[in-house]
């Protein structure tokens, strides 16, 4: 007759604890992106290497500067000229401060480029949702439509996008921040030049190796930092744009400005929304596809100071991307300590089980002998 195996009561907790420890170890912690310290470059809304050119009336909140070339065109205070800038901040044309900011930009650029990637990127970010992590495009990267960055209500969630060559957004594209995501913690490290198409609403910091070209009526809640390369070459070109450097801590941290309409309409003392307020509306993004570590189908909720102030629904899919969901920044192999503790707990429970069965065997044999 077969007997059911019954675990002694004192062995069962150890076996269960061991199993749980093994499961926890197998899940492992998700790798997290590290915030990029911009140093003195964090106070700059626009930083270039070979000059800044502006057409029309632009509004910039934050410092501007260029080094080593001091050339600046269309930067006169408004309304003194048709091509002018409403500047809330300081202008540093090839001075010591701009030189130091450029050096700090190079350090920050290298820091972002050196982080280990969690997932590879498809050619276009449009229609996708990302959680905190490091994402890499081996070549050029585009944005057509809306991309959503979801912090999942985790404070200080960092998003790093490593772009091998150029980064280009189509007209009317946008970066949407939900569930506590902050423009302070969004970084695009661009291997060559960056171009923002007309009426793009961009959130985050662009660190470009070469030029940054900004189309008409673009809003940026973040920074445009160009000319990272050793020669310093890299111009920034503006056309009737609004750029607001967020108020952050150590180049990262929590946000400073708020957004509205179809992306960001940022501002501080220039006349629109305040630099450290919170937005009270919600966002929704239902992405139809995924690519690499990006996942479609998340819904945005409450937001922080730099989170999107709109309510929208983006159902567009990126060209050529899979329609199945892919995992978000993944968990690694079992952590050494958790796996070891789990194994020891299971072995201890098994040993206790064997020892506790010995009296049972002796008693059973004695009964059979009788």
HSE value, Cβ hemisphere, 13 Å, CA-based, for 260: 8
Residue 197 has pLDDT above 70, yes or no: yes
Sign of the CA dihedral with 37 first, then 271, 261, and 47 last: negative
Give the start-to-end residue ranges of the domains of the chain.
31-330, 333-370
How would residue 357 be classed by pLDDT, with cut points 50, 70 and 90? Answer: low
- Encode burial over 301-325: b for 16+ CB neighbours within 10 A, e otherwise: eebbbbbbbbebebebbbeebeeee
Ranges of H-type helices in the chain:
12-27, 96-113, 336-369
Q: Tell me the C-alpha distance between 68 and 74, whole Å.
A: 19
Q: Regarding beta strands 242-244 and 146-150, do their DSSP bridges make them parallel or antiparallel, or are they unpaired?
A: unpaired
Q: What average pLDDT does this structure show over 197-220?
A: 98
pLDDT at 82 over 90: yes
For 249, list phi and psi in degrees, rounded to 5: -115, 125
- Statement: residue 84 has pLDDT above 50: yes
pLDDT at 306: 40
Closest CA to 212 of 190, 189, 230, 235: 235
Q: How many whole angstroms separate alpha carbon 256 and alpha carbon 286?
A: 26
CA distance 180 to 108: 23
Check residue 251 and give left, alpha or beta (phi > 0: left; psi -120 to 50: alpha).
Answer: left
Three-class SS state of 174: strand
Q: Looking at residues 309-332, what average pLDDT do you find?
A: 34
Strand, helix or coil at 363?
helix
In this predicted structure, the answer to whether residue 202 has a pLDDT above a threshold of 60 is: yes
pLDDT of residue 299: 36
Specify the pTM.
0.65
Distances from the Cα of 80 to the Cαs of 84, 85, 177, in angstroms?
7, 10, 36
Q: Find where tokens 């970066």 sit.
A: 175
86: left (phi over 0), alpha (psi -120 to 50) or beta: beta
């Amino acid at each position: 007759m077969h007997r059911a195996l019954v675990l002694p009561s004192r062995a069962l907790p150890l076996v269960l604890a061991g199993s749980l420890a093994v499961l926890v170890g197998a899940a492992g912690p998700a790798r997290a992106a590290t915030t990029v310290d911009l140093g003195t470059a964090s106070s700059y809304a626009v930083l270039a290497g070979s000059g800044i050119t502006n057409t029309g009336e632009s509004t910039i909140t934050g410092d501007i500067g260029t080094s080593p070339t001091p050339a600046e065109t269309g930067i006169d205070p408004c309304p003194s000229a048709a091509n002018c800038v409403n500047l809330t901040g300081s202008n540093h044309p090839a001075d010591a401060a701009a030189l130091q900011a450029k050096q700090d930009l190079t350090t920050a650029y290298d820091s972002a480029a050196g982080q280990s990637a969690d997932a590879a990127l498809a050619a276009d970010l449009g229609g996708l949702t990302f959680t905190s992590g490091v994402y890499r495009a081996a070549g050029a990267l585009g944005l057509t439509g809306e991309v959503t960055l979801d912090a999942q209500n985790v404070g200080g969630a960092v998003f790093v996008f490593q772009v091998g060559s150029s980064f280009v957004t189509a007209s009317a594209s946008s970066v949407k921040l939900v569930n506590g995501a902050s423009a302070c913690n969004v970084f695009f490290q661009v291997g060559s030049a960056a171009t923002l198409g007309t009426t793009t609403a961009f959130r985050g910091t662009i660190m470009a190796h070469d030029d940054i070209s900004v189309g008409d009526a673009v809003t940026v809640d973040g920074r445009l930092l160009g000319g990272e390369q050793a020669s310093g070459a890299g111009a920034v070109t503006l056309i009737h744009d609004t750029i607001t450097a967020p108020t952050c801590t150590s180049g990262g941290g929590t946000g400073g400005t708020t957004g509205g309409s179809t992306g960001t309409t940022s501002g501080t003392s220039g006349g629109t929304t305040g630099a450290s307020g919170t937005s009270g509306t919600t966002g929704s993004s239902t992405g139809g596809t995924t690519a690499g570590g990006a996942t479609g189908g998340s819904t945005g909720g409450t937001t922080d100071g730099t989170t999107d102030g709109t309510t929208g629904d983006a159902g567009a899919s990126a060209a050529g991307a899979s329609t199945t969901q892919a995992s978000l920044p993944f968990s690694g192999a079992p952590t050494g300590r958790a796996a070891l503790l789990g194994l020891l707990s299971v072995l201890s429970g098994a040993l206790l089980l064997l020892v506790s069965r010995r009296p049972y065997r002796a008693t059973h044999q004695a009964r059979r002998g009788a």
